[in-house]
Structure 1
Amino acid sequence: MDSLILLEELTKQLLDYNKVFVQTFEQTREKNEDGDFYSEVKPFADKVKIINDQWKEAALKETVFLGRNGIASRQIELAHEHVEKLSIQAFFVKTSRYTFINSSRTVDYTLSSILEKIAGTGKVL
């Protein structure tokens, strides 16, 4: 599989997860109850981690392409870190709304930017 197509698929999956993070965060706030760590948080975070790690590896392989298009490897690292934290923080009531939403927006911006750059190559799924 072409490495840009793989990156595109993984990026779309993370964008979907980012929406789930926000929905979960809002539901957690409404219930005013933390998610159960072993039955909810850990299984979900583990599932996200697999995609997130694959995405980071695929994105770092494309640093020349992405760098030419204004996306630095530090942005990739930061988005990866945010996704990892968001997948857990979404389940906890005491998570700061300001920090959570800003991290989610950062992830969304980086991932959307990558999709735009890939779309510009004509190699869209």
Structure 2
Amino acid sequence: MLSDDNRQLKEVTGALLQKNEEAFHYFEKYCVDEMTADFHKDVKPFADEVKRLADLWMLKTELFIREQRPKYLHRSQLEDAYENLQAQSVACFQKDTKRKAFIERNKSIKYTLEILLAALEKPLE
């Protein structure tokens, strides 16, 4: 059974996975299809929400790593995912974003979030 902190971490991780998927769709819409995003209507609200979730996620993740010490998840991975989430939340709206770099960042974020979810599901060893 998950503790309250781990349950909240699982929920926030799921929300960030969803935001990661949304960022990919925004990338396709605004970068690939070359549409223009409105800063106040599209970019700022999305980036602010990702930042809010990422800040909470990092706080809960640090606690989880300290207490549970999962085998295949390290602090540096989490810090990279945290930074990448925030960078991606703005880059997905920019027309000059490089496709390959964006896709690789998106995959990296997804991988880290999924590894964390798997670690949350594992019973303590």
TM-score, normalised to structure 2, is 0.90
Percent same amino acid at aligned positions? 29
- Of the candidates 11, 26, 29, which is equivalent to residue 28 of structure 2? 26
1:82-118 per-residue CA deviation (whole Å, 9 max, x = no partner) reads 0001111111111011111111101000000011111
- Of the candidates 97, 113, 116, which is equivalent to residue 114 of structure 1? 116
1:19-50 per-residue CA deviation (whole Å, 9 max, x = no partner) reads 00001100113431331222211111111111
Aligned partner letter, 1:115: L
Question: How far off is 1:66 after superposition?
Answer: 5.4
Residue of structure 1 in register with 2:52 after alignment: 50
8 Å contact kept, 1:82–1:107: yes
* Unaligned residue ranges in structure 1 (runs of 5+): none
1:50-101 per-residue CA deviation (whole Å, 9 max, x = no partner) reads 1111001100111135533221111111000000011111111110111111
Residue of structure 2 in register with 1:68 after alignment: 70
Matching of residues 77-96 of structure 1 within 5 Å: 77-96=79-98
Q: 1:38, 1:8 → 2: CA distance?
A: 30
> What SS does structure 2 have at the residue aligned with 1:88?
helix
Residue of structure 2 in register with 1:102 after alignment: 104
> What SS does structure 2 have at the residue aligned with 1:68?
coil
8 Å contact kept, 2:17–2:113: yes
- Of the candidates 9, 12, 18, which is equivalent to residue 11 of structure 2? 9
Aligned partner letter, 1:10: V
Q: How many equivalent residue pairs? A: 122
TM-score, normalised to structure 1, is 0.90
Q: 1:66, 1:13 → 2: CA distance?
A: 22
| Shift in alpha-carbon separation, 1:71–1:91, aligned structure 2, 3 A | same
Aligned partner letter, 1:43: P
* Unaligned residue ranges in structure 2 (runs of 5+): none
